[in-house]
Amino acid sequence: MTGFKIIPRSQSSFLAQLLVPVAAIVLTLLAGSVFFTLLGKSPLASFYAFFIEPLTSRYGIGEVLLKMGPLLLIAQGLAIGFRARVWNIGAEGQLLLGAIAAGAIALQFELSDSVWLLPSMILAGTLAGAGWAAIAAFLRTRFNANEILVTFMLSSIALQLLYYLVSGPLRDPMGMSFPQSAMFGDAAMFSPLLSGTRVNTSLFLGLVATLLAWIFVQRSMPGYKLLVSGLAPGAAGYAGFAANRAVWLGLLIGGAAAGMAGVAEVAGPLGLLQRNISPGYGFAAIIVAFLGGLHPIGIVFAAFFMALIYVGGDMSLVSVGLPNASTTIFQGMLLVFYLACYLFVNHRIQRQVASGTVASAEVGGSDADHTGSGATGHA
């Protein structure tokens, strides 16, 4: 055996939680400078484009906030489920359903200038997102179907549904048969927040969600306790009632948040329904949730950082001439390093002087426990 051993901490290390993102970023910068040099680009100019350039102009800041909105909203919703080990990886589909529902209302009342139009779109989108996630919750609680797979496949179905609607029933009759809807009326749009930018009032949805998530988690509301205990291994996992409640709660909250984010996209920067609605927000938000340590405050920083990389990546295409794929690779590297560093939040590394003997006799007993809870947690 090697001279090191991984030992679980009895309590997550707060310090490690703060240091992990920093370490991941530093490692990414180091690996990134090698990567950019290999591409024949100046690492400094590349980093400047990625991290600083977006923040040097009003427009750039607006873009970062615009991109941050949906990431923040979805990640807050997902993190609540993730903490309870409910793996909703289909936020992309729930987002699309939210967008479709809101879009259908906006198109139905195209000429309306009612102040209630946008709120009803938000409500419909939120419900649609939650409803799409509810399918997975139902199949999990009723038939025991793994929610990772179901939520994922529902995303693929949602995409086809969107394709069908924009090239059929919701297509703009005056739009030359292009697969997209008519533009929404002004009453169906979020109003701009900062002049000269695209950021709009939907950003508040993300901030309110953060506040709610923080209260929910920090105040340890009964619902949250139930949620976490419901699927915790070794706890009352076999009590089907609590587990089912946790699955429902986790998926519905995540779906509702994603649906709301879908509304914000179509009633914000897009202003219509088209085939291309989300540049993968639903998947990126999973990463944001983990990057933020599944903590409401951490997620705010993670969402901001992720948005910065996205916007910076787009800017670097123009200003440094980096290839499109470099943003993708840069994000991938960041995540990989982050996930590696995250080990230290819940574990510590102990140096062993000499390799000890394996006490296998004791292990047998605790194994049985683990196996039991694992099966209930996942099958």
Query: Which residues 242-261 are close enough to bind other proteins by CB under 8 A?
Result: none
| Residue 299 Cα distances to 187, 237, 347, angstroms | 31, 28, 21
3-state DSSP assignment of residue 362: helix
- 232, 258, 277, 309: which one binds other proteins (CB under 8 A): 277
Helices 281-291/324-341 angle, 10° precision: 30
CB 360, min distance to other proteins, A: 6
Report d(CA 277, CA 202) in Å as an integer. 16
User: What dihedral do alpha carbons 37, 38, 41, 43 form, nearest 10°?
Assistant: -30
Determine, following the binding rule CB under 8 A, whether residue 160 of this chain makes contact with other proteins.
Answer: yes
For residue 202, which amino acid is it?
S
Site membership for other proteins, residue 168 (CB under 8 A): yes
Restricting to residues 16-45, name those near other proteins by CB under 8 A. 30, 33, 37, 42-45
For residues 222 and 356, which CB has a smaller minimum distance to other proteins in the complex? 356
Q: What would the x/- binding string for other proteins be over residues 311 to 340, using CB under 8 A?
A: x--xx-xxx-x-xxxxxxxxxxx-xx--xx
DSSP 7: E
Contact residue for other proteins among 111, 353, 354, 359 (CB under 8 A): 359
* Of 111 and 359, CB closest to other proteins: 359
> The tokens 């090191």 sit on which residue?
4
Q: Looking only at residues 89 through 108 of this chain, which bind other proteins when binding is defined by CB under 8 A? A: 89
Query: Residue 191, interface with other proteins (CB under 8 A)?
Result: no
DSSP per residue over 141-176, as a string? HHH---HHHHHHHHHHHHHHHHHHHHHTTTS-TTTT
Among 77, 271, 292, 296, binds other proteins (CB under 8 A): 271
Closest by Cα among 283, 303, 227, 335 to 88: 283
Applying CB under 8 A, which of residues 3, 6, 240, 241 lies at the interface with other proteins? 6
Closer of 131 and 223 to other proteins (Cβ): 131
From the list 120, 146, 201, 244, which residue makes contact with other proteins (rule: CB under 8 A)? 146
Give, in order, the Cα–Cα distances in Å from 347 to each of 7, 60, 92, 229, 375.
5, 39, 32, 21, 24
Q: Which stretch binds other proteins (CB under 8 A): 103-111, 164-172, 204-212, 240-248?
A: 164-172
Residue 13 is a binding residue for other proteins (CB under 8 A): no
Q: Does 153 bind other proteins (CB under 8 A)?
A: yes
